[in-house]
């Protein structure tokens, strides 16, 4: 249970406010215990966390092999390593990550994202070109979905030029390497 610390309330009204001592001791926040609670809420990371947009990145089949698989096409960086560099670029977002090689698990993740996330970045891998079911799941949810591809699918085999997802997605970003995910984040957060 948190210890509550008396703190002067909003706008110097004279009434007392309470804030968790755990928050005051959190290493990210150097907070003077005498700060007005209004200043704390308006000028601190607490406010940022309260207003963070939750974004879910879903990667499909074989994307767990990034860094090893076809490095001439997909690069030599693991997605988890890239994600560590992506998160600090968007401090106003809470980024979650899910990867599966199983079509049904991707559909489940999309359905669970509805109402919970502000946006989804979806790289369905090979399922992009074959899965009517994933396309239907994107169509069925209200959360905006950005379809992402690391490679330029239009510069590759003709079967990759077809997407079962694109028509239901907010947009498609393709061919910018792992930076495609950053571009999708910008679209969801700032467009």
C-alpha distances in angstroms, 28 versus 25, 54, 65?
9, 20, 34
Name the active-site residue from 82, 117, 149, 181: 149
Question: Is 149 in the active site?
Answer: yes
> Does residue 161 carry a catalytic annotation?
no
Of the residues 74, 117, 127, 181, which is catalytic? 74
The residues assigned a catalytic role are 74, 149
């Amino acid at each position: 249970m948190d210890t509550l610390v008396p703190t002067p309330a909003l706008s110097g009204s004279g009434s007392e406010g309470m804030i968790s001592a755990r928050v005051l001791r959190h290493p990210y926040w150097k907070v003077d215990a005498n700060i007005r609670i209004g200043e704390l809420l308006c000028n601190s990371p607490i406010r940022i966390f309260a207003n963070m947009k939750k974004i879910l990145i879903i990667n499909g089949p074989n994307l767990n092999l990034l860094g090893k698989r076809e490095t001439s096409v997909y690069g030599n960086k693991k997605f988890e390593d890239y994600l560590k560099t992506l998160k600090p670029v968007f401090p106003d977002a809470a980024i979650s990550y899910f990867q599966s090689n199983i079509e049904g698990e991707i559909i489940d993740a999309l359905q669970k994202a509805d109402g919970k996330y502000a946006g989804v970045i979806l790289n369905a891998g090979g399922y992009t070109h074959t899965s009517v079911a994933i396309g239907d799941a994107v169509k069925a949810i209200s959360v905006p979905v950005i379809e992402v591809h690391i490679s330029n699918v239009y510069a590759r085999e003709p079967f990759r030029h077809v997407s079962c997802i694109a028509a239901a997605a907010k947009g498609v970003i393709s061919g910018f390497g792992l930076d495609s995910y950053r571009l999708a984040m910008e679209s969801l957060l700032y467009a």
